Amino acid sequence: MTRIKICGVTRPEDARDAALLGADAIGLNFHPASPRSVTAGHAVRIIEVLPLFVTSVGVFVDYPDPQALEDFAVSIGLDAVQLHGDESPDYCSMITRVKVLKALRVGEAFRVQDLARYRVSGFLLDAYSREARGGTGRTFDWSRAAGANAFGHIVVAGGLDHTNVCAAIGQLHPFGVDVSSGVESAPGEKSYDLMQRFVEAVHRADGS
């Protein structure tokens, strides 16, 4: 079964709906430049509504100190951190008390062999953009990620929605898929209908 992560959640009711619809994880963005950014206190209120076995993932970009990041994640109850900046393999290895999902942007310079440098719980592959670190609504050339599964659990992101997620799963057979803008009515505001359509599309892909 392909795991589903709904990212950029900003409202407790959206987190609750995502979980009830079948999401395996929700993403909370702590990057101040993101329109989906949340504070620690807000994140705690969202995490509190999650049922057992639904994972909370905090998204960070180039946080200065990995130990301080780990302390923060543990203090608010995050299960994992998604490192969406230029964090080095050594930086990632310093975080041990929560799982680490290293995000890599897939552009012309991307080489799937680069994943071998990291010792993390998984990789999130997103579209490359000069303007933003994720949440762009753009897909990437999935063929560039061929063979990525050999290096660990792969989560595919970047411009996914209910119309194209089946194709992404069929081509890459990832451990999971990640969606943000593809299930939104406005930045940070999730649509119940679009989340439902996305989850149903993933299940159809798994069934086929």
Active-site residue set: 7, 126
Q: How far apart are CA 150 and CA 84, in angstroms?
A: 21
DSSP per position, 63-80:
-S-HHHHHHHHHHHT-SE
Q: Quick one: the chain helix, strand, coil %, rounded to 5?
A: 35, 20, 40
Element (H, E) at 202: helix 192-207
- Tell me the chain's radius of gyration from C-alpha atoms: 16
Rama region for 173: left / alpha / beta (φ>0; ψ in -120 to 50; rest)? left
